[in-house]
Structure formats: C-alpha cells, structure tokens
Amino acid sequence: MNRYVMYNFVMVSLLNLMLFVPNILFQYRYHGAVSSLIAAAVIGPLFGIVFIRTITKYPGKGVPEILNENYPRWVTVPAFLFFALMWFSAASITVDAYAVLINRFFNPDANVLVILGVMCVICLYAATRSTLSMLFIMEIMLLLNVPLIVMLLVKAGGSDQMNWDAIRTASNYVQSMPKLAPLAAATFIFTGYLNLSIYNRVLPPNYKFKRGYLLPVFGIGVLATTYFIPIGLHGIDGVSSYLYVWSATSDSLAMEYGFIERVLFVFLILYLNLTLIYTASGWHQAMEMIKSCFPKYKPSIDEHPVPRSNYVIVSVFAVITVAALYLLNEKHLTEFTSYWLIIRMFSEYGLVIWIVVHTLLRRGAA
Amino acid sequence: MLHRITTLFAEAKDLNTHRIHNREFTLEVAYIGSLVDESKVSDYILVPFTKEEQSFKTILETNPSFKKIEDPARWAGNLLRGFVLVKLENAIYMLDAARVIRNQNPIAEVESSVQGPQTALSEDLIDSMNLIRSRYPSAELKIEEGTVGTLSMTRMLLLYDQRRVDPTLLANIRNRLKEVTHEMIGAVGELEKELSSPRRALFPTMIITERPDRVARALSQGKLVLLLHGSMFALILPANFFDFMHAMEDKYESLWMTNFLIALRYLSILLTTTLPALYISVVSYNPELFRVQLAFSIAGSRSAVPYPSFIEVFLMLFLIEALIEASARLPRYVGSTATTVGGLILGQAAQQAGLVSSIMIIVTSVVAISNFVVPIASMSYAIRFLKYPLIVLSIFFGIMGVAFGLFIYIVYLCQLRSFGKPYFRFLGNITKKEGDIGQVNAR
C-alpha cells in the first residue's frame, strides 16, 4: 500500500513549520542555507528510498523485531529507548509550540498550560489506539487537510505581493558552503520515511515500493515553498524578525470571497489538525519502541480493547510535555529544537545505515 | 399429558385441553386458544379424527405437518409458540397452528423511496423471508433459526450467503448471540445494543433497515442479516460509516444528482454537528474570524440579547429538540398543531422578544433540517447527539475547541470496529495483488 508510506512522508514534510525549520534556515540565509537545501534534497530522498526498500524486505516486522532477533538485549534496549526519546521529543516540541501559537493568535486570554493540557489529553487518546487505527486516522486527516494546505501554499506563491527580487537575492547566496544546522533542519523534511520502522508491521507481505520519484519531487516542492515564499513576502531582511514566520506569512494573505477573510485562521486550523496527528503518531511510535524493550511483549497491530500499558506510557509522555512548557519558554524551545534536529539527523542516518548494513551482511551470510 | 400441562401453566382461561374419543382411539389435545388458529385445529385434528375416513394414527405418522416430540421439557415452550400438542397412544405430536397478528403488506415509510421498491419487511418471519427469498433467489442462502431473550424467547433468523460470508465473522456473531442474556428482546434496536461492542458506542455499528432490497444487496456482499419475529426491521452487519450515508434511492436515480446528494449529506452532518458550537465561538471568542461586515451583522443581530451566546444556544436547541420529540411522540393528527405552534415561537416571536438573535434562528433551523438528511434513522439519532460535546468544548476553548472535538470524533470513528472490520476508513483502490494494510495480522 504505497499511499500509506506516502502519507507518513507528506505529514512530516508539511509539519516542518512547527519544528522551527524555517527559522533555522533563515538564520543562515546569508551563510549556506540555500546550498544546505540543495544538499538535503540529495541526501534526504537517497536515504529515504534506501531505507524503505530495505525495511519492506521484512514483511510484518518493525525495526524492534528485526533488531531484537539478531542482537543481544543490552544493545537493543538502549537503542530503542533512545529512538523513543527522539520520537517523543519531536512530537512534544510540536505540541508545545502549537499550544503557544494558539495562545498568541487565537485565545490570547487563555492559559497556555490549559490549552496544552487539553491537546495532550486528545493526543493521549489518539496515540493509545492500535497501529492500524493510527494509519486510518492519519489517512483521513491528511485527505481532509492536505488539499487545503496545498491550496494555501499555491495561493501564497501566486500572491501579487510576492517580491521575486528578494527570492533571487536569497538564491544568490548559493555559493556559501552548507552548514550543519541548516542541513539538519532541511533534511527534516524528508524524515517521514523513518515512521516505517513501526508502521512496516502493518504493510502487506507482498508490498513493493513504487513511485519513489515522488519523494524528491514533493520534498523539494515543500522545501522551496517553506524557504522562499516567506522571503518573497517579507523581504530577505524582514523575514528574520518573526518567530512564527509562517503564521505571519499566511496573515499577509486575504481571501476576498466567502465568510473568512484572513487566511491565518484557516492555516492555523489546518496546522492544528496536522500537529495533533503528528503528535499522536510520534507518541504512538515512541510507545511501541518502549513496549518493545520488554522481553515478553508481542507486537499486535490491532488490539481491542486498548491495553493498559499504552495509557501508562503515553500519560508519562503527556505529563513530561506539559512540564516542559511550564519550565521552558519559546526561546529555550527553539534552541532545544535546533540541537534536536542535529542529533536527529545523525541518529536517523545511523539507524538507516545499521538496518541496511545488517540486511546486506545477512544476505552475504546466507 | 393433559394433567401435566395443566400443572405446568398458571391458571389461564385460554389454555384448552380436550380429551376426545372415537371408535378406535382416545385423543388428547392441548393448545393455547389465543395463540392458534382454531380453524386449523379443527381442519387438521378434530374433523379427521371424528370423521374417521382414515385411521388417525396413519394421519399422524404420514402427514409431515405433525412432528413427533419426545422431550416433555419442550411442551410448554412449544405451546407458547402456537403449537398444538396431540397425544395418541403414548406418542406425542405437535402441529404448528400459530396465528400471528401482523401488519398487512406494509409500505416502506421510514426509508421511503420515490422510484424504488415500496414494500417493507413484515413483522412475521415467514412473510419477510418470502420478500427476501424472492429478491435473492440463490441456493446459497443459508438460514439459521434461534431465539433471543431468556424470557421473551423471541424467534430470530440469521441469514447469509454461505459462499460469500466471512467465516471468522460468522463465528464471531454466533458467539456474540450466545452472550445475549437480556430477559426481553422486543425489537432489533434492542438486539443491536446487546450485540455492539463497546456497549456505549457513539455510533451504530449495524444497520437497521426495513427495505428488502437493502437486505438482498447486503446478502450479496457477504453480510449477515438478523430478522426478529415481531419486528419489521432487519439488522445488517457488519456496517461501516459510509453505508449509513447511502439511501437505496441512490442506486435507482440519476448518477450525477445522487453523487451530488451524497456530498450534500456529508456537508449536512458537518453543519449539524458544528454550527451551534461555531456560533458560540465566533460570537464569544473569535469575532475576527469572519470578515468585518459579517462579524458586524452578527453582533448587530445580537444587540438585544442580554445573556452570553451559549445560553442562547442552549435555549434554542432545547426548543427545537423538544419540538422534534413532541412531533414524533404525538398522535399524527395532533402533531401538525405542535409543529405550527412551535414554528411560530421559533420563528419570529423569540427573536422579536429579544430572547435570541435572528442569526441563531437560522442556525437552529439549519441544524434541525440538515440532521434529517441522513438516510438511516439510527445514524441520524447518533449524529443528533454529537453537537452537544462540541458546544461544551466551544464554551471553554472557542474555535480551537471545535477543531479539537472534530479531531476526537475522527479518531473515535477510525478506532471503531464493526465485528472486526474497520468502521471508518478511506477505501481507495485496494488491489488483491498489492494487498491491504493489516493483512499480516488478519491471517
């Protein structure tokens, strides 16, 4: 089922705004952001296609099962805990950032922790569902939201206010060499394939990955819009003065017909859905990783009723998420995110290489 | 036998026990007068017995309508289902002489259609089976009989096409039926509640229908159908969300208009669930959401209303729900009076009195009307409830609350299963060659 692989990819790539990817890129706009984009557009799809092709050779198995069968527990358990931490922290950063965003743009009077609490409860409910249900939820939400998001992006790209000169100026900085931070940020767009390390359990046995060209095509499209449209609308200098640069960008657009005039609100609601589904999916995967650490655990993709361990693990996630926002402010959050993106890049490619090398060695031995 | 039967039953005037003689035999007959067709009793038993054209013993042995009954424990149950018990020379036979009072040739009223078949299922199982068999003339149609309800012992038929049905589903439903321990099962809706899991599901996971054409189509899709004696509705399972949004009419009418109508139904359920909540959030939280002119006209229409928007919403929703309920419960000739009076209040008067805004009246009527667009009544009821949790969320969180609520509903729908089958998913094109997700688990 090709489309379910693509859903993961599309979801994560559109979600880059919530993880401050544009901000990090704009910080380096004079020092290698553009060349990092180009480098990411090569590295990201390459690792993606290799990983998908490798992991689909293990039908019905996720990364935990593959590694548990071949390596001792003292190797795999720390690795799983680490990956669980990576997924969990990405999801929690997103939901924290979004709660702050709601507070800034929608309900300025509301207590941000209350909003975050409600969002965490919703994600707790969604993340504890079975793996199969997670994919159904993801599919429906993306089918409802992505057409509108693409419409907004196209509308932004075709706006009269676009200053193509600014974009040309920005792209002229292509000569400066790629840097680590913007590269890590830009490769995040392609990281959706890694969700297969859990969702591969659900894919049918005779699944064959097709239409791999969509990965680079869609990814480059998202990268280009994420980076260049705000520059075109705010100017190459002005773009760095916003923390929520895409909210400001969408607020500079107007819909002339219909009930709603400000694009911002449509944009925020669409991204709310995307954030919730991303957080639910991220927590779900982190939960599955943690459950795989227990020796007795048998993965099941559609379990009814929901086992109690799901609730326990995800409740811990939710509490940590709320505590994080209580202790940190947006500045800490952005800083933390830029480090997280770098660690993510290395650990992600480490995992891909591990699985690929393992598969090649096994084939060599057989 | 007669003595034993009289001791089994409480003293009842309609319990008939006779001992009659002819030249050859002594015959004991027992039946419940109110349950059986007396003419059948005399045609099959009394007349041949007294005329003596043929030995009554050979009649009992040759006529297949008489069945031998060995176990005395089944006497009472069979008498109560309208059987006549006959004892001749220590052999006991039973004869089905039940007289069922039922609706004659019912017309489909709950799910009416303009150009489709007009008959509905009957309250009598045999008539219903006639309708279904004639629409589904297949030798593969298998019928299992059983009873549900420990006290009501309602007769029930389980129908399926034995070649098309999914065997795991069949085993699942048989187990589920065994677990029904209710005393009284009077209608399929009650059975549905007993069978569905989780018990407190927000949405129906089985279709209740009165249309034989829907039943026949379901059978052809390998679904199971349950019929209950005394209820003119059938239960089709498993079902998914999208089945509920399809009227049978959609198959009989012009393609483009029906596709448009299906889209309209989805839009309607979105409106009926979200509109009151959106009204609250736009008025009380985010008036800047709408363009300025619209925001002003909403605020202007509310200028006379002295209390917050959610009270206004609760007031109007109470009125409209009470009105719908009243017109459904009242006898038909009083019903129109209720709607007229209620319509007057809901229409002009409430707004002129400054109790509610005119926009709220539009919201209320849109909510009420678009709720009735759903073709299956049980889904229409389920959706009618959905607006209230959203209203509560919007009171506390505004627009975001509505978005939260819709997200929860979608998660809920996606995790719901109807007898192990996904309830709410986008099907897309699933080819056998590629397979479907979740297959690994299902093997």
Q: Which residue of B has its CA nearest to A123?
A: B408
pLDDT in tens, A167-223: 888 888 888 888 888 888 888 898 888 888 888 888 888 778 888 888 889 889 888
Gap between the Cα atoms of A270 and A101, Å rounded: 13
Residues within 8 A of A (CB atoms), B 410-439 only = 410-411, 414-415, 417, 422, 424-426, 428, 430, 433-439
Q: Which CATH architecture has domain A2-365?
A: Up-down Bundle (1.20)
**CA R_g for chain B:** 29
What count of other Cβ atoms lies within 10 Å of the Cβ of residue B254?
A: 9
Cβ atoms of A251 and A161 closer than 8 Å: no
Largest Cα span, chain B? 101
Q: Is A140 on the interface with B (CB under 8 A)?
A: yes
Q: Is B380 on the interface with A (CB under 8 A)?
A: no
Query: What tokens were used for B17?
Result: 């026990």
> What order of strands is seen across the sheet that includes strand B141-148?
B141-148, B154-161, B224-228, B234-237, B207-209
DSSP 8-state secondary structure symbol assigned to residue A175: G
Gap between the Cα atoms of B29 and B92, Å rounded: 10
Query: What tokens were used for B106?
Result: 């019912």
Q: Is B295 on the interface with A (CB under 8 A)?
A: no
Where do the domains of chain B lie?
A: 2-96, 125-239, 254-422
Backbone angles phi, psi at B91, to 5 degrees: -105, 135
Q: Which residue of A has its CA nearest to B418?
A: A304
Per DSSP, the three-state class of B119 is: strand
Least confident range from A159-163, A281-285, B260-264, B401-405: namely A159-163
Contacts of B366 in chain A (CB under 8 A): none
The answer, yes or no, to whether residue A124 has pLDDT greater than 90, is yes
Cβ atoms of A26 and A33 closer than 8 Å: yes
Q: Is A355 on the interface with B (CB under 8 A)?
A: no
Backbone angles phi, psi at B18, to 5 degrees: -125, 150
**Averaged pLDDT, groups of 10, chain B, 443 residues long:** 80 84 85 86 86 82 85 83 85 84 77 84 87 89 88 88 88 86 85 81 89 91 90 89 88 89 93 94 87 88 88 90 85 77 75 86 90 89 93 91 93 88 80 69 47
pLDDT in tens, A320-332: 999 988 888 888 8
Q: Which of B286, B407, B439 sits opposite A122 (nearest CB)?
A: B407
Q: How far is CA A81 from CA A58, A88, A124, A297, B279, in A?
A: 22, 10, 19, 15, 46
Q: Which contiguous run of DSSP H or E holds residue B234?
A: strand B234-237
Gap between the Cα atoms of A195 and A282, Å rounded: 8
Contacts of B414 in chain A (CB under 8 A): 129, 133, 136-137, 140
Gap between the Cα atoms of A330 and A18, Å rounded: 12
> Span A57-79, mean pLDDT?
86
Contacts of B422 in chain A (CB under 8 A): 132, 136
Cβ atoms of A1 and B434 closer than 8 Å: yes
Residues within 8 A of B (CB atoms), A 193-212 only = 201-208
| pLDDT for the residue numbered A366 | 62
The answer for residues whose C-beta is within 8 angstroms of residue A45's C-beta and 6 or more apart is: A190, A212, A215, A216, A219
Q: Is B151 on the interface with A (CB under 8 A)?
A: no
Q: Please report how many Cα atoms fall inside a 13 Å half-sphere around the Cα of residue B115, on the Cβ side.
A: 6
Cβ atoms of B418 and B236 closer than 8 Å: no
This complex has an ipTM of 0.93
What count of other Cβ atoms lies within 10 Å of the Cβ of residue A146?
A: 17
| Alpha-carbon distance B282 to nearest alpha carbon in chain A (angstroms) | 11
Nearest in space to B208 (alpha carbons), one of B243, B259, B184, B253: B243
Gap between the Cα atoms of A248 and A242, Å rounded: 7
| pLDDT for the residue numbered B442 | 46
The answer for residues whose C-beta is within 8 angstroms of residue B354's C-beta and 6 or more apart is: B304, B305, B306
- Strand-pairing partners, residue B18, are B29
| pLDDT for the residue numbered B443 | 40
Q: Which residue of B has its CA nearest to A105?
A: B286
Cβ atoms of A21 and A186 closer than 8 Å: yes
The answer for residues whose C-beta is within 8 angstroms of residue B81's C-beta and 6 or more apart is: B35, B98, B153, B155
pLDDT in tens, B244-270: 988 888 888 888 999 999 999 999 999
- Sign (positive or negative) of CA dihedral B317, B319, B323, B329: positive
Confidence grade of residue A33 (pLDDT, cut at 50, 70, 90): confident
Cβ atoms of A104 and A112 closer than 8 Å: no
What count of other Cβ atoms lies within 10 Å of the Cβ of residue B97?
A: 21
Least confident range from A87-96, A150-159, B250-259: namely A150-159
| pLDDT for the residue numbered B439 | 65
Angle of helix A73-105 relative to helix A308-327, nearest 10 degrees? 50
Higher pLDDT, A241 or A282: A282
Gap between the Cα atoms of A144 and A146, Å rounded: 6
| Alpha-carbon distance B356 to nearest alpha carbon in chain A (angstroms) | 22
Confidence grade of residue A363 (pLDDT, cut at 50, 70, 90): confident
Most A CBs within 10 A among B433, B439, B443, hence the mutation to make, goes to B439
DSSP 8-state secondary structure symbol assigned to residue A257: S
What count of other Cβ atoms lies within 10 Å of the Cβ of residue B119?
A: 16
Q: Which of B417, B426, B437 sits opposite A304 (nearest CB)?
A: B417
Where do the domains of chain A lie?
A: 2-365
Cβ atoms of A93 and A337 closer than 8 Å: yes
Cβ atoms of A153 and A229 closer than 8 Å: yes
Confidence grade of residue A246 (pLDDT, cut at 50, 70, 90): confident
Per DSSP, the three-state class of B249 is: helix
| Residue written as token pair 């030798």 | B139
Gap between the Cα atoms of A236 and A29, Å rounded: 8
> What distance, in Å, lies between the first and last C-alpha atoms of chain A?
29
- The CA-based angle A20-A21-A23, given to 5 degrees, is 65
Torsion of CA A155, A157, A160, A165, to 10 degrees: 170
- Mean pLDDT value across chain A: 87
